[in-house]
Every structure is written in structure tokens, then in C-alpha cells.
Amino acid sequence: MTLPSLLAVFAHPDDESLSAGGVLAGHAAAGARTSVLTATWSEGTPRAAELADAVSILGAGQPRLLGYADARVPESAPGRPRLCEAPLDEAVGALVAHIREFHPSIVVTHDALGGLTGHPDHVHTHRICLLAAQAAGLAGLYPQAGAPWRPDAVYAATHPQSFVRQLGNKVPRAAGRTLHAVPDDWIGAAVDVAPWLDTKYAAILAHRSEVARGAAPGILAAMPEPERAAFLSTEYFVRHDLAPGSHRTTELSAG
């Protein structure tokens, strides 16, 4: 079965592997066209090189970069504005060009809460992505960005509240922190990515600097394998339909 073409749009290098690595690997293995666009970090930086390694492991070709700076790491894109401070119309137009060039049936991005951490770059990437996914199908918007193309749906990577309750103190650094989640009935897809768990975890580990500094990839690397597998084996999404009736032909899956 050939799955729908998929463009993943995330804020930082490692978000693609953490949030949708299993879905990306499954779509690519099934022969679907897949690609990853990252909003922050520019070419030539260490994390951009790690991103290229991770995307290659997932089978998603060469990474696409908008090249804005991480909100907390200005050296991530020397001379460029932080993502959250860039002109909205400029960022949306840049993403529209990628959507019109790649022709994805499905776009995957962060949820409106910015995922478990609520990072401002995650939240802003969600906003840019929803605007761009709709604008890409309208000929009157961004005519310089190519011929119109309307994806069928946007899937926003998230976690249900029941998952966060079960998480409890099992994950280091989770205790005492606010972890953002959506009501369980908001979940439009809960994808079992266990068959692609090894590939997903290898892509996460490709973000070596994040492992070394103890960020999310490092936290996962330090977890016992059964707990790590339980955390990573299901990917959850809120679905936003863009084309009428599209749910019949463009369900998100891991193959």
C-alpha cells in the first residue's frame, strides 16, 4: 500500500524525530514521498548537519530549512531574525513555496499548545503551518510562490491528557513541570509506530548535541528501554481537514 505524500514541518532539529519519526519512517518505507522542513537553524550549523543525518535515517531525503533563529539560540542562524520575531507574512510565504513545490497530501506539524513543552517556536510554527497550508491552495495568495496546491489535511502532533497522567514521574524532569496535552477526544489519529521504533530511535540519537546536553533526546537515551519504548511507540495527532471528504483517502498511518 502506498501511503499519502507527507511534508513534516517542525520548529527545531530533533522535533521531526521525536514527534513524528515513526510516521515518517513508515510512510517512506511504504513508498510515499516524504520530506521534512525545519523552521530554525541554518545551513552550516552543527544541528543542521545532525538534522540531515536524522532525516536520512527516516528515509525523508534532504532536509528543507527556513533558516530562522531559535528563540533561545541566536547563533543558530547568524544574521537572521528569531522565528517568533520574523514578519509573519514572510514566513508563511516561504512555507507556501515549499508546499506548492512538494505537493504533499498531508502536512504534519506541532499542535496549538506547542507539544508537551509548549516551546514558543513550536507554537509559532503551528500557526505559520496552518496559515500556509490554507494559503497554498489559493491562487490569489503568494502568486510568486508557484501554482496553487491544497493539502488534504494537517495533522498536529500532540499528546492526550490521559497519556500525560500516566506519564507521572516516570520521565526525568517531568515531575513538577507543566506538560501540555489535549483532551482525549481531540485525538484524530493514534498511530502505532512500534514496527518503526528502532528507526525512530536511531534518528533521535542522530541529534548528538541534544543527547550530550541532556535535552529530550538525552533524556530518552538515559531511560530504561521498556519505558522509552512505551513513550515512543504511539504517535498522536489532532486532524485539521482542508479538503472536503479527504479523510477517506488520506489517513495518517505508519504502514
What's the number of domains the chain is made of?
1
Q: Does the residue 1 lie in any domain? A: no
Amino acid at 16: E
Q: Which residue has the higher pLDDT, 82 or 253?
A: 82
Q: What are phi and psi of 108, to 5 degrees?
A: -115, 135
- Confidence at residue 174, expressed as pLDDT on a 0 to 100 scale: 54
What's the mean pLDDT in 161-188? 81
Q: Does the residue 183 lie in any domain? A: yes
Q: Does the residue 199 lie in any domain? A: yes
Whether the model clears a pTM of 0.85, i.e. scores above it, the answer is yes
What's the mean pLDDT in 171-194? 85
Q: pLDDT tens across 113-133, in order? A: 999 999 999 999 999 999 999
Q: Does the residue 254 lie in any domain? A: no
CATH number for the domain including 116?
3.40.50.10320
The beta-strand segments (E) located in 130-229 are 153-158, 189-192
pLDDT at 173 over 80: no
pLDDT at 38 over 70: yes
Q: Is 164 left (phi over 0), alpha (psi -120 to 50) or beta?
A: alpha
Q: Does the residue 86 lie in any domain? A: yes
pLDDT at 254 over 80: no
pLDDT-derived band at 169, boundaries 50, 70, 90: low
Q: Does the residue 179 lie in any domain? A: yes
Cell numbers describing residue 47: 544541528
pLDDT-derived band at 199, boundaries 50, 70, 90: very high
User: What value does the mean pLDDT of the chain take?
Assistant: 94
pLDDT-derived band at 249, boundaries 50, 70, 90: low
Q: pLDDT tens across 94-117, in order? A: 999 999 999 999 999 999 999 999
- Domain of 231, in residue numbers: 6-248
Q: Does the residue 108 lie in any domain? A: yes
Q: Does the residue 255 lie in any domain? A: no
Beta-carbon contacts of residue 101 (< 8 Å; ≥ 6 apart): 146
pLDDT above 70 coverage of the chain, percent: 94
